[in-house]
């Protein structure tokens, strides 16, 4: 078995006829935090959605391995149960479904995969009470429909709440920091740090270096025009903040 959680090999993908990913390579080991930065439209969200199995994208060539096995034939829900979590850049609202029910069903589906017994409503209530404190969310959000009428920041907290509950091996957070004020950013970053373990891995897609003041990644990748064009440590993000993306092109 591979000792990597995720391995992406020369991935090419398109939407319809438009090529978007043009040869992405990425390896992530347990215990690592990776940041992916890059200008708007460089393909960051596309990469995350393809890993999660979004049907809008066609894979032209390459492979995605999760714990050494190709996931290309797995449906999105299978990938999620197996331990791949994606926090969307634009979280969807699900009218008619309460947040608590949604989360309980998701948690129990994941537990079933791990061959753990389902949580009863009471056990789930105890678990979620602990986790909402981690993201600084009020209990009243559990009775509301999933993300319906939530502000941008509340939706982002709700995504991190899902992450906290699902205990996934790979969590990809797509611009979770955008739209957060500095206090919310701090709480969420603390929550994410608490959730980072030696056995899981986290991918932070972010536009801004400020998130990386709170969560220090092991690797920073810069994406441009559908490729990872540079990999370094956190100093790469700091240089980017100082000099802008043009600096990448020049050096």
Residue nearest to Mg ion (CB): 45
DSSP letter for 39, please: -
Nearest-angstrom CA–CA distance, 155 and 88: 10
The secondary structure of 83-144, three-state, reads: CEEEECCCCCCEEEEEHHHHHHHHHHHHHHHCCCCCCCHHHHHHHHHHHHHHHCCCCHHHHC
Name which of 45 and 201 has its Cβ closer to Mg ion. 45
**Partner interacting with residue 56 (select from Mg ion, ligand ADP, none; CB below 5-8 Å by kind):** ligand ADP
User: Shortest gap between Cβ of 165 and ligand ADP (angstroms)?
Assistant: 25
Name which of 159 and 167 has its Cβ closer to Mg ion. 159
User: Shortest gap between Cβ of 132 and Mg ion (angstroms)?
Assistant: 27
Nearest-angstrom CA–CA distance, 231 and 130: 36
Distances 129 to 116, 135, 139, 142, 166 between C-alpha atoms, Å: 20, 11, 8, 10, 14
User: Shortest gap between Cβ of 122 and ligand ADP (angstroms)?
Assistant: 40
Nearest-angstrom CA–CA distance, 89 and 67: 25
Q: Which residues, other chains included, contact 2 with Cβ-Cβ below 8 Å and sequence gap of 6+?
A: 65, 67, 68
The contact mask relative to Mg ion for 16-55 (x = CB under 5 A, - = no) is ----------------------------xx----------
Nearest-angstrom CA–CA distance, 39 and 244: 10
**Partner interacting with residue 43 (select from Mg ion, ligand ADP, none; CB below 5-8 Å by kind):** ligand ADP
Nearest-angstrom CA–CA distance, 192 and 11: 28
Interaction with Mg ion in 81-110: which residues (CB under 5 A)?
Answer: 89
**Partner interacting with residue 42 (select from Mg ion, ligand ADP, none; CB below 5-8 Å by kind):** ligand ADP
Which tokens go with 139?
């209990």
Cβ atoms of 148 and 94 within 8 Å: the answer is yes
Using CB under 5 A as the binding rule, whether residue 176 contacts Mg ion is answered as no
**Partner interacting with residue 41 (select from ligand ADP, Mg ion, none; CB below 5-8 Å by kind):** ligand ADP
User: Shortest gap between Cβ of 19 and Mg ion (angstroms)?
Assistant: 17
User: Shortest gap between Cβ of 251 and ligand ADP (angstroms)?
Assistant: 21
Name which of 14 and 98 has its Cβ closer to ligand ADP. 14
Total of residues contacting Mg ion (CB under 5 A): 3
Strands 145-146 and 219-224: unpaired
User: Shortest gap between Cβ of 149 and ligand ADP (angstroms)?
Assistant: 25
User: Shortest gap between Cβ of 161 and Mg ion (angstroms)?
Assistant: 21
Binding site for ligand ADP (CB under 6 A): 15, 18, 20, 38, 40-46, 56
Judged by the rule CB under 5 A, the positions of this chain that interact with Mg ion are 44-45, 89
């Amino acid at each position: 078995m591979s000792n990597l959680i995720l391995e992406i090999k020369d991935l090419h993908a398109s939407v319809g006829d438009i090529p978007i990913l043009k040869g992405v390579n990425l390896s992530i080991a347990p215990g690592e935090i990776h940041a992916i930065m890059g200008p708007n439209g460089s393909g960051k969200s596309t990469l995350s959605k393809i890993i999660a199995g979004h049907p809008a994208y066609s894979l032209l060539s390459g492979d995605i391995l999760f714990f050494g096995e190709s996931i290309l034939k797995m449906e999105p829900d299978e990938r999620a149960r197996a331990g791949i979590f994606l926090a969307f850049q634009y979280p969807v609202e699900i009218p008619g479904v309460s947040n608590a029910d949604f989360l309980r069903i998701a948690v129990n589906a994941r537990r079933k995969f791990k061959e753990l017994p389902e949580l009863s409503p009471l056990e789930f209530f105890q678990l979620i009470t602990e986790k909402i404190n981690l993201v600084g969310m009020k209990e009243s959000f559990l009775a509301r429909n999933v993300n319906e009428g939530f502000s941008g920041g509340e939706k982002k907290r709700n995504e991190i709440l899902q992450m906290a509950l699902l205990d996934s091996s790979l969590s990809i957070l797509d611009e979770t920091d955008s739209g957060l004020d500095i206090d919310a950013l701090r709480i969420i970053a603390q929550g994410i740090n608490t959730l980072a373990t030696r056995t899981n891995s986290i991918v932070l897609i972010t536009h801004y270096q400020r998130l990386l003041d709170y969560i220090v990644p092991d690797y920073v990748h810069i994406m441009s025009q559908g490729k990872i064009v540079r990999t370094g440590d956190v100093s790469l993000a700091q240089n980017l903040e100082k000099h802008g993306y043009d600096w990448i092109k020049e050096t």
